Amino acid sequence: MPASQTSRTFGASTTAAEVIDGVDLHGRRAVVTGASSGIGVETARALAAAGADVTLAVRNTETGARVVAKLEAELSPSAGKLTVGRLDLADRSTVGQFVAGWQGPLHILVNNAGLMAPPELTRTPDGHELQFAVNHLGHFALATGLRRALASADGARVVSVSSIGHLFSPVVFDDIDYRFRPYDPWTSYGQSKTANALFAVGAAERWADDGITANAVMPGNVGETNLSRTTDMEQVGAMLAAGAFALPPGKTVAQGAATSVLLAASPTVQGVTGRYFEDCAEAQPVAERGTAVAGVAPYALNADNAARLWALSEQLVG
């Protein structure tokens, strides 16, 4: 383990560059979803800076190509190769195409892409509520489709980007797609983020024999991302003013990417799996939402919930 890793304490203000300092990823291959903006770009930057060959899995490949050009101009000649792959998590055909086109081992998969709280109920062409479909089902299909590639990497890591927003709701198994209850953008978001955490628990259980670790992360309150592109920010302001919820302290994009990079590449968490991290450390459990701005709900790490979600997800993605 590099000395710079063993002697350093990571925390809320740590940046992705600080986490990756001293780590050599040459010869490793990584996929980062949603790497055309925000935290995804910074995650890709850090992994490539350490030498990993990184594929930016994005909806808009033209935007992805511009990001690659910018990163290549900024990174050193020793950085890993950057490429772009098309991936629309709401369109299962593109997930299948991405999986079919992948050749060779995959050492790092960061399921980073997502959307937050669209005000109106929207369904994908196959009938699933959009947030659950994009944030969870699309990533589930991607990760399970790439399992052989991950297994062949001998020590692969999967990072599932969740959120403090998971405290808004557990997975409501009897009505995931809001066919019986009124749609609410925030419980829908919370359900999908709980699913992200439960995916890590399920993958950790099922893939341990393949040497694959899987963990969930809370990036933090990062304003400079496209996550809120579908969010009614006036509603957010009203909810904050009414005390309906509170936000954690703000972070820069570089700080927001740090926990993802920690779980993706740092030797300090070698072998750690099935956990939920925030501020570059394992999160503490919380008993109720209230105005909590940190921590993880027990239902998001429950093994029975994870098993139920895994079986349902297999059924839903075919």
Q: What average pLDDT does the structure give for the chain?
A: 93
Give the per-residue pLDDT at 3: 43
Tens-place pLDDT, residues 124-164? 999 999 999 999 999 999 999 999 999 999 999 999 999 99
Q: Per-residue pLDDT for 214 more than 50?
A: yes
Give the per-residue pLDDT at 247: 75
pLDDT interval class at 291 (50, 70, 90): confident
Give the per-residue pLDDT at 223: 76
Contact 122, 72 (CB under 8 A): no
Tens-place pLDDT, residues 237-256? 565 555 666 677 899 999 99
Q: Which residues are catalytic?
A: 189
pLDDT interval class at 9 (50, 70, 90): confident
Contact 38, 67 (CB under 8 A): no
Give the per-residue pLDDT at 6: 46
- The strand ranges marked E within the chain are 29-33, 53-58, 82-86, 108-111, 157-161, 213-218, 221-222, 250-251, 276-278, 281-282
Give the per-residue pLDDT at 17: 97
**Strands of the sheet with 29-33, listed across from one edge:** 82-86, 53-58, 29-33, 108-111, 157-161, 213-218, 276-278, 281-282
**Cα–Cα distance, 278 to 317 (Å, whole number):** 29
pLDDT cut 90: percent of the chain above it: 86
Q: Per-residue pLDDT for 260 more than 70?
A: yes
- For 259-288, what is the mean pLDDT? 97
pLDDT interval class at 224 (50, 70, 90): low
Stronger pLDDT, 175 or 293, i.e. the higher one: 175
Residue 265 belongs to what H/E stretch?
A: helix 258-265
Give the per-residue pLDDT at 248: 79
- For 40-65, what is the mean pLDDT? 98
Nearest Cα residue to 309 out of 101, 160, 124: 160
Q: Per-residue pLDDT for 228 more than 60?
A: no
Give the per-residue pLDDT at 318: 86
